[in-house]
């Protein structure tokens, strides 16, 4: 019985988790893209928490530190890092609200959830662009 089972198992194709090399060619649906970006943006925000708290500290502690904060954030590189963090926040925020709505069984059909994933993806980018244009004083 056990031997027979083992022979049977040998013939069965084995499906492992996909490897890193395959990931590049793996075409995720929009919901999948939004999901992995939700995870990545959350991880980035987590890693840069001390930097975010430091900026808050500098902006609030005193008049002098506030000036230092303004000096630091006028640096182009710092601005770009902040813009990256702002995208992480906005994407995480929008995708998170989508999940809360899905939990309430709002928009759970395949077509609707695909559409909401596309909306979340471009809303995150669009809002980041609005903040970015303001940051670099385009308007």
Partner 1 sequence: MPQYQIGPKRLVVGAHYGLKEWIIQRITAIVMVVFTVVLLVDYCVTGGTGYAAWSSLFSNQFMKLLTLLALLSLFYHAWIGIRDIWMDYVKPVSIRLGLQVLTVLYLVACAAYAVQILWKV
Which residue ranges make up the site for partner 1 (CB under 8 A)? 39, 42-43, 45-46, 49-50, 53, 56-57, 59-63, 66-67, 93, 96-97, 100, 103
Q: In whole angstroms, how close is the CB of 138 to partner 1 at the nearest point?
A: 17
The shares of helix, strand and coil residues in the chain, as percent rounded to the nearest 5, are 80, 0, 20
Q: In whole angstroms, how close is the CB of 89 to partner 1 at the nearest point?
A: 9
Choose between 80 and 97: whose C-beta lies nearer to partner 1. 97
Q: In whole angstroms, how close is the CB of 25 to partner 1 at the nearest point?
A: 20
Choose between 46 and 111: whose C-beta lies nearer to partner 1. 46
Choose between 73 and 114: whose C-beta lies nearer to partner 1. 73
Q: In whole angstroms, how close is the CB of 61 to partner 1 at the nearest point?
A: 6
Handedness of CA 130, 134, 137, 139 (dihedral sign): positive
Whose CA is closest to 92, among 26, 48, 55? 48
Please enumerate, as own/partner, the contacts of 17-25 that have beta carbons within 8 Å and a separation of 24 or more: none
DSSP 3-state of 117: helix
Choose between 43 and 133: whose C-beta lies nearer to partner 1. 43
d(CA 60, CA 66): 6
């Amino acid at each position: 019985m056990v031997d027979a089972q083992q022979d049977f198992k040998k013939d069965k194709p084995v499906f492992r988790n996909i490897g890193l090399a395959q990931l590049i060619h793996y075409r995720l649906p929009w919901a999948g893209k939004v999901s992995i970006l939700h995870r990545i943006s959350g991880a980035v925000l987590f890693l840069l928490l001390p930097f975010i708290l430091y900026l808050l500290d500098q902006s609030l502690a005193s008049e002098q530190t506030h000036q230092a904060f303004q000096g630091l954030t006028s640096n182009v590189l710092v601005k770009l890092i902040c813009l990256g963090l702002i995208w992480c926040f906005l994407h995480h925020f929008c995708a998170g609200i989508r999940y809360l709505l899905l939990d309430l069984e709002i928009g759970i059909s395949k077509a609707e959830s695909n559409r909401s994933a596309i909306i979340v993806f471009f809303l995150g980018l669009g809002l980041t662009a609005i903040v970015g244009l303001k940051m670099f004083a385009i308007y």
